[in-house]
Structure 1
């Protein structure tokens, strides 16, 4: 008798599970047909079966479990801007020779300002350029013991009437800002920042060397604000373009416009010269 009763319980459980699965399927079909408007074929018997107490809830729970098992859609990733592979600007070419044999920096500034739309000559800008007029003194061996500091103003004489050296970004930036209030000093910024300027359509005055080589010979002298190490190969140009292999400059000494220089070499020299650069924004 116990065995018979056990068999009845198992059989009942089997038919109960089968009925729940069947009802879940019917309910899912009805939901789909209702949602899509294709429910004309559904018989009254199927409608009544799906509406039976308990079966509807069981089928709904099964559908909810199925929906919960679906993975969440991945969040949309905004597209990243792609850096242009090259940029090139048409900036006026101004030669420093013959009037300013030591005036590469102020001549490069002249090109930058002309590009901006300010029509001032290199001689006008040279006349107003900050100066450090500290007299030069020599050691017994002929090396320079004491002179001006290019961070204060132009050291020496740019016209060649006396020994001339140059001017660095701090002093020349003050002159640029006097003419362009939106001037920016990009010194010690990564070179990519100068490329961004070109992408925005703005050149920059950058410091390099006359032969575009890292200097092998450096000189040191004392100044009113402390000693300085530099090189007489110091030079400044207007950066007007770049691509994957080269940068392009307007060189006031050679007089060449868009002169190509191998990029890695140029960056190495620029870094050796203190990563100096000045420009402006369009704001």
Structure 2
């Protein structure tokens, strides 16, 4: 009796362990041996009508929850060259030292103001401070070009020039939208040209950075400058060159290597006068 009971107990334990093993295997493998098949929803698509499938996709798809990117505006490339047709005016013979006023005359003529350099001459600011020399012949005291034209513009005696600060008033008199672009980057002057506006710019006579600087005292303090100082009308540029109307050489659209020109323009203080569209 005891042996029979023991065999029955052992058999029951073996059956129970077999069932438990089957259940455990089904759980691990995703198969339910005694009920409905268990499926992984990420791998099986149920047969449903197309409308419900679409609705589920709209709700469950991460892409459907992310708004479509806004269309990007096309990138406009900046033009790399332009040359404007501006009138050429000679500073000689009347104004051998008048490159700045003559360049301003070209700018005004291009704008539409029909004035000659000689008509504008009486309206230009002047600093009439008389010149005084040191014993060694160097200039000790003279006018300041930031206040007005220094010296004699007609060549009857020593003349020097005028800077943007003093010439700006005359430009504003005829062009309400005049702008002083001094200390701006050269890219700004290129943008002006692309918009159709030339600029009066300060450089040197030979378009080289000067090595003969001079210093003298003036009514508003010492000034360092050079007698190679010059002004032209900037009318164009491309990747390698700039183009100017030079009132001294009398050349229209004179081509100068860009890096060389920018170096002289920077040496002379990045001075530039122009105007904007507002007044047109």
How far does residue 210 in structure 1 lie from its aligned partner after superposition?
A: 0.3
Out of 12, 19, 41, the position equivalent to 1:4 is 19
Residue 128 of structure 1, CA deviation: 1.0
CA contact (8 A) 2:58 2:65 kept: no
Q: Would you say 1:117 and 2:137 are equivalent positions?
A: no
Number of the residue aligned with 2:269: 274
Question: What does 1:22-37 align with in structure 2 at a 5 Å threshold?
Answer: 24-27=45-48, 30-31=49-50
**Counterpart-to-counterpart distance in 2, 1:178 and 1:155:** 21
Aligned CA distance change for structure 1 residues 63 and 229 (closer, same or farther; 3 Å): closer
Q: 1:112 to 1:26 in 2, by over 3 A?
A: same
Q: Which consecutive residues of structure 2, in runs of 5 or more, have no partner in the other structure?
A: 1-14
Structure 1: which 5+ residue stretches go unaligned?
36-58
Q: Residue by residue, what CA displacement relative to the aligned partner does 1:125-153 show, whole Å, maximum 9, x if unpaired?
A: 11210000000000011110000000000
1:128 lines up with 2:123 in the alignment: yes
Please list, as runs of the form range in 1=range in 2, the aligned pairs for 1:57-72 lying within 5 A after superposition.
60=56, 64-65=59-60, 67-68=61-62, 72=66
Residues 1:233 and 2:254 aligned together: no
The answer as to whether partners of 2:58 and 2:64 remain within 8 angstroms in 1 is no
- Residue 257 of structure 1 aligns to a residue whose secondary structure is strand
Report how many residues are paired.
256
Contact 2:178–2:273 (CA under 8 A) maintained in structure 1: yes
**1:167 partnered with 2:169:** no
Deviation of residue 16 (structure 1)? Answer: 2.7
Is 1:242 the counterpart of 2:242? The answer is no
Counterpart check, 1:91 vs 2:98: no
TM-score of the two chains, using structure 1 as the length reference: 0.83
Q: Give 1:152's match in structure 2, choosing from 136, 147, 162.
A: 147
The 3-state SS of whatever aligns with 2:203 is: strand
Deviation at 1:202, TM superposition (A): 0.5
User: What is the CA–CA distance in structure 1 between the aligned matches of 2:41 and 2:189, rounded to whole Å?
Assistant: 71
Report how far residue 82 of structure 1 moved. 1.1
- Partner of residue 209 from structure 2, selected from 209, 214, 217: 214
Greater gyration radius: 2
Residue equivalent to 2:197: 202
Over aligned residues, Cα RMSD in angstroms? 2.5
